[in-house]
Amino acid sequence: MRNISLRVCLIGAGNVATHLGAALRQASCQIVGVYSRTYSHAAQLAQQLACNYPFDVIEQLPVADIYLFAVKDDVLPSLVKLVAQCKESAGALFVHTAGSVPLAVLSEQVGRAAVLYPMQTFSKQRAVSFAHLPLFIEASTTEALAVVRELASSLSDQVTELTSEQRKMLHLAAVFACNFSNHCYALAAELLAKEHINPDCLLSLIDETAQKVHEMPAVSAQTGPAVRWDESVMARHLELLQDNPALQQVYQVLSKSIHQLHHDSIRS
């Protein structure tokens, strides 16, 4: 990681823009403007980043070396088009941060295009260190790749080049590893609430589950009734969920999926 001094204009003011903006500022980038369709969001993030230039009008965006898009996937194409109409003449690099959007969404509209996808779960209220955070990059030209690599390397020592196809699968995997596992924590806490048990008692189990996969593949780390196919325990669990058919379905689908993944080893 090393300091660089690129002028970055942030398009978006959500979780990713907030965390990435702060990390870029720390890496000595200049944040020359923050855009959001909602002016108050742009103003709030600009203030956090000690930048005096919040915008809600594309035409007013300042000149920058990099326009960094961190917005919802479905508004990305139209925003890129608008920014390109106003700003591409200056030869800026357009970068998006989305896991599941191909580079083509940019490169079909501008000559210098790149992706910088930070694989992390960001909430505004929680600080995240970028130092070892996996960043995945891709670019439309060798020169653009060099710039985005420099940008990414100023943030983290874990920078990997991936194709759009690979990144799409990585993003899907991240949904399983993060969003779905976190939802399992949330459902567990809900169940405990019914019996007035403090959900904090789950923390050492959650930690050990996460730590285990540093040492062995998750498939080998699996324990519990589904991998043993302990039907009496599973039947008792389903009975406990009898007033909640949706949760019964989650239980059954995941147990079946565990069984399926271990099918060969069970048979052998």
Stretch that binds a second copy, among 28-36, 39-47, 56-64, 130-138 (CB under 8 A): 130-138
**Nearest alpha carbon to residue 13 among 62, 72, 57:** 72
- 183 touches a second copy (CB under 8 A): yes
* Contact status, residue 195 vs residue 226, Cβ threshold 8 Å: no
Give the count of residues interacting with a second copy (CB under 8 A): 96
Options 26, 28, 256, 266; binder of a second copy; rule CB under 8 A: 256
Q: Quick check: 149 binds a second copy (CB under 8 A)?
A: no
Contacts with a second copy in 38-67 (CB under 8 A)? none
At 91, phi and psi to the nearest 5? 75, 25
| Alpha-carbon distances, residue 167 vs 57, 58, 68, 144, 240 (angstroms) | 31, 29, 18, 18, 40
Give the HSE-up count for residue 106: Cα atoms under 13 Å, Cβ half-sphere: 29
Q: Return the range that interacts with a second copy (CB under 8 A); candidates 19-27, 82-90, 144-152, 251-259.
A: 251-259
Select 143 or 230, whichever has its Cβ closest to a second copy.
230
Distance CA 125, CA 48 (A): 13
* Residue 90 within binding range of a second copy, rule CB under 8 A: no
Q: What does the longest C-alpha to C-alpha distance in the chain come to?
A: 68
- When asked if residue 104 is in the footprint of a second copy (CB under 8 A), the reply is no
170 binds a second copy (CB under 8 A): yes
What residues between 199 and 218 interact with a second copy by CB under 8 A?
199, 201-210, 212-218
